[in-house]
């Protein structure tokens, strides 16, 4: 009969579990780091393209009229990202991880084109200030989502419903042009994308435990980076509507 208090047996069991735990944690950290690296690279690419277009009058004129309204190419740059997101979301099983990565960076570049007009509407200082505030808030929210023991799945369903309502309100306000409605949209948008940042971080962490070691993980990394990228960009734009000083 095995000795239950044999120090050699106990040490062997604990040591094996400890080594497995360390490897597991290292794998999770590497997985999350890849997601954050892709997401940060996408944000950086968007910023660089946006600055390039905004500071080059000839290039800016290809996409936007002097009044800031989009040209035909501008509308293509605005609408193509939506098509690309749908293609990535519904076609991920047929696409390779490298194809998804290419689409992700193409999406980030086109977002940079469509966001170039913020440099004509807001001061550079207020854009920079809002960016750093967004980065700090995003980091804190994502850290909370990663470390909290609370299950955020029910919270995520509520946020998804709120997101649909937000999109409908934004479309309606295109025709209504209501200042109070726009203010409400901006406020609700900040809270929704703040919540989605925490929720998506926890969801991506959970996916690692479910899919660890599977080939599909490479695709999850790219799509996870896209989710966090969208949260960051939308949070930045809604905050800019409050904090940005207009030209």
Going from the first residue of the chain to its last (247 residues), give the mean pLDDT of each consecutive group of 10, the final group possibly shorter.
Answer: 40 39 72 96 96 93 86 90 87 88 95 92 92 96 94 87 89 82 89 95 90 77 95 95 78
**């998506």: which residue's tokens?**
200
> 2 lies in a domain?
no
Contact 231, 138 (CB under 8 A): yes
Rounded CA-CA distance 12/88 in Å is 46
> 1 lies in a domain?
no
Distance of CA 247 to CAs 71, 96, 134, 168, Å? 22, 44, 21, 29
Owning domain of residue 205: 7-243
Q: What's the maximum distance between 2 C-alpha atoms anywhere in the chain?
A: 87
Q: How many domains does the chain have?
A: 1
- Structure letter (DSSP) for residue 68: S
> 160 lies in a domain?
yes
The confidence score (pLDDT) of residue 91 equals 84
| pTM, full prediction | 0.86
The confidence score (pLDDT) of residue 189 equals 92
The confidence score (pLDDT) of residue 90 equals 85
């Amino acid at each position: 009969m095995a000795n239950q208090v044999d120090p050699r047996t106990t040490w062997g069991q604990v040591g094996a579990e400890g080594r497995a735990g360390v490897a597991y944690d290292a794998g999770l950290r590497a997985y999350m780091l890849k997601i954050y690296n892709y997401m940060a690279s996408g944000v950086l690419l968007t910023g660089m393209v946006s600055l390039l277009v905004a500071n080059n009058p000839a290039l800016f004129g290809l996409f936007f009229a002097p009044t800031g309204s989009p040209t035909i190419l501008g509308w293509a740059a605005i609408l193509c990202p939506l098509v690309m997101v749908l293609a990535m979301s519904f076609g991920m099983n047929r696409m390779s991880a490298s194809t998804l990565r290419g689409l992700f960076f193409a999406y980030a570049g086109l977002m940079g084109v469509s966001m170039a007009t913020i440099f004509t509407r807001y001061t550079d200082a207020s854009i920079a200030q809002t960016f750093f505030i967004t980065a700090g808030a995003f980091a804190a929210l994502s850290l909370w989502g990663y470390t909290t023991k609370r299950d955020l799945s029910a919270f995520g369903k509520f946020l998804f419903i709120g997101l649909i309502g937000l999109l409908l309100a934004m479309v309606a306000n295109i025709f209504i042009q209501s200042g109070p409605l726009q203010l409400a949209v901006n406020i609700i948008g900040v809270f929704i994308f703040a919540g989605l940042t925490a929720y998506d971080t926890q969801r991506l962490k959970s996916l690692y435990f479910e899919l660890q070691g599977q080939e599909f993980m490479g695709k999850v990394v790219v799509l996870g980076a896209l989710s966090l990228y969208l949260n960051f960009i939308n949070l930045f734009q809604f905050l800019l509507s409050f904090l940005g000083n207009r030209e």
